[in-house]
Chain A
Amino acid sequence: MKNLLKTSILIIISMLGLSTIVSAQARKKADKDTKIWRYEIEAAGVGTQGSYLIKVWSYSKKPKVAIEQAKKNAVHGVVFKGFSGKPGIPGQRALASSPNIEQEKQEFFDEFFADNGKYMKYVTESGDGSIAAEDRLKAGKEYKIGIVVSVNVDALRKDLEDAGVIKGLSSGF
C-alpha cells in the first residue's frame, strides 16, 4: 500500500519534472531559432520618435515560450535583419552593416541576448498583453505567434555604437 503511494507520488513528480525539462528545452530551441534567424519581422506602424513599431512572428511548441522570445527576436531582427515597409510605413535596414558581426562579436551578443539580458532595455510589448486571434497559429505541433512590440532604436543604436559593435552613422564621412 505504502509502496503504491510512493510510486504514485514518484510518477507525478517525474511528470512535473519532465514538464519543466520540456519547457527548458523549448526555450533553448527558441534561442537556437533566434540565432538562425527563424522568426519573421514586419512593420506594424510608424513608431514614436526614435522607435520602431514592429510585429514579430516567433515559433515554439509552447505558446508561452514563443511570446517570451518575441522581444528577443524583435531586437535581433532590428540589429541584423531589418524589415520591409508597407503602404504608409517605411521599411528599415538592419543596424549592423554585416550579418557576420554576430559571429565576430559572439561573446558580446551571447551576453546581450541571454535570458533577461541587455536587449530587454530596448523593447516593450506594445499591446495590453493580448494576442490577436489572427496572430496565433497552430502549425502541426508548433505554434506561430505574432506580437507587436516597440523597439527604442535610437538608444539601441547608440549603445551598440558606444560598445564598438556597430559603426556610427557618421563614420566613413
Chain B
Amino acid sequence: MKKRILFFTLTTFFYLNISNAQSTLNNKPIDSKYRRSSLHTILIESDRFPYKDTVLKAYYNAPFPDKYNDHTIGEKSFNPNQYSRSTTIKDSEYKSIIDSYFKENKIAAKLVAKWFDRKADGTMDMDLIGQRGLYNATEMAAKIASNSARGLASLADAGEELIGNTFVVVSKLNFVSNEYAAAIIREAAYAAASRIPYATLEQAGRAVADQIYEKTKEGYSVWTTSYLYKLKWNDSISTIFYTDLWMDENTKDSSRKSKFDNSELFEMEYIGSENSSSLVTFSLKEKRSEEKIVEIATVRNIDAVYAKLQKKYDVFKTKTPLYTGYPITAKIGLKEGVMGGDKYEVLEQTLDADGKTKYVRKGIIKVNGKQIWDNRFVAGENEAVADSVANNTPKRDRTLFKGSKNYYAGMLIRQIK
C-alpha cells in the first residue's frame, strides 16, 4: 500500500513536471501553410490492357478525392504510340513521350486556361480562382478576413497562390493475369508430386495443386508507374500573363487571344516518378466477372497512386495548427481528405541556440474516426447547410485526435500516413 501511494505521488509529480522526449527534425524548412493542390490525371493507354474499354471507363469514372481540386481538362488518356517512333516502347522512353504529349497538346496552357475560365473567344475571369481561394481558406483566415475592410474578397484573391500547386499525374498501368503465376506454381507442385513413390498420394498431391490453381488463377496483379508533373507558375510568368495575355469581357483584344493561343510561356516541370502495385483476386463474398476485377484493379491502383504521392511529397501532406491540445483537436476534416486512423506528427516551432527557427517533433497523434468534421463548405457560408447534407450527423466544428496530453494549441500537425 505504501509503495502504491509513493508510486502515485511520484507519477503525479513527474506528470506535472516532465515534458515529452523531443526529436529534432532535419533542417529542411517547413512551410506551415497548407494549400490545396489541383490535379489533372492522365492514363497512358495500352493495347495490352485486358478489357481496354473497361479500364478506360473505370479510369474516367474513378471517384476524385476530396483532398484535391479537380482540375481535369478534358481528355484523361492518350495513346503513347502516337508520340513514339518505335513500335515497341521501352520503359525509359515514357518520360520523353509524356513530354511530347504535353507539348503537342499544350497541356500547360490548357491548365492555365482552366484556372482563368478561358472561353472560346479568349476572354477570361477570376471566378474559379476566387471560388478555390475561398474553399482553401481556413476558418481562422475567414474570421480574420471578415474583420478586414475587404472582407472575404481578400480570401478570393488568395486563390491565385494555388495556381502554383497545379499537378498532372500520368499513370502507366501494367496488368498481369494471376493465371501465369498460378500455372507456374501448379507445375512446381506437379513436379513435387511426381516424386512421391505412391500413386494414390501422387494423385492426391496433383488434386491439391489443381484446387490451388483454380482458386488463385482468377484476377490480376497490376503494376503502376506514375509520373508527377507540376505547372510552372511564378512571379515572372504571372507578370507576363497579366501584361500580355490577359483579357476579360471589357478588354477584348484579338491580338491577345492569338498571343495566348501561340504562347510558349506555359510549361510543365517534371517532379518525379513512383511505382505501386496491387493484387486483385477472387472474392469469397461474390462471384466477380473478369470485367469487374479489371475495374476494381484500375480504381485500386488510382487510389494507390494518390496514397504514394501524399506519402512522398510534402506539398500533398495536410498541415494545420492544433486548435486545442487537450482534447486534441484541429480545424481540418473531410475537405482535406481526413480519414479515421490517419497519423499526424505534432511539431513545435522552436528557436535554437543559433537564433534559427526549426520544428521539433513532439509526438504522433491519430484521427478518431468517429469524430471527423465535415467542413466541405466554402469559407463564410453557413456550415450547417453542409452538415445537414452529410447524413444528419451531429454538428461538429473540429476533428478529434487520439494521443498523449502533452500538446498545445498552435503546435503544427503534419500528415505522415
Contacts and interface: CB of A to CB of B under 8 A. Distances in A.
Interface string A121-145: 0001011111111111111100011
B87 interface: no
Contacts of A47: 147-149
A83 B411 CA distance: 27
Contacts of B16: 15, 19
B143 A128 contact: yes
B154 A45 contact: yes
Given A45-B154, A47-B149, A139-B351, A130 B409 contact: yes
B351 A138 contact: yes
A145 B150 contact: no
Given A136-B321, A138-B348, A45 B13 contact: no
B362 to A, nearest CB: 10
Contacts of A136: 321, 348-349, 408-411
A13 B331 CA distance: 36
A5 interface: yes
A13 B1 CA distance: 20
Nearest to B352: A139
B321 A132 contact: yes
A3 to B, nearest CB: 10
Interface stretch (A48-56, A103-111, A153-161): A48-56
Interface in B29-43: 32-33
Contact of B323 (A12, A129, A135, A144): A129
B12 interface: yes
Nearest to B330: A130
Interface string A1-25: 1001100100110010001000000
A80 to B, nearest CB: 23
Interface in A24-83: 44-49, 51, 53, 63
A53 B145 CA distance: 10
Contact of A4 (B2, B150, B348): B2
Contacts of A63: 408-410
Contacts of A46: 148-150
B12 A15 contact: yes
Contact of B32 (A51, A127, A134): A134
Nearest to B357: A137
Prevailing SS type, chain B contact patch: mixed
A96 interface: no
For the side of the interface on A, what is the size category? 35 or more
Nearest to B33: A134
Contacts of B351: 137-140, 144
Interface in B327-375: 331, 347-351, 357
B145 to A, nearest CB: 8
A126 B331 contact: no
A48 B149 contact: yes
A45 B411 CA distance: 24
B363 to A, nearest CB: 15
Interface of A: 1, 4-5, 8, 11-12, 15, 19, 44-49, 51, 53, 63, 124, 126-140, 144-145, 148, 150
15 contacts: A8-B5, A11-B13, A47-B148, A53-B148, A63-B408, A124-B147, A128-B331, A130-B140, A130-B321, A131-B409, A137-B351, A138-B350, A140-B351, A148-B144, A150-B147
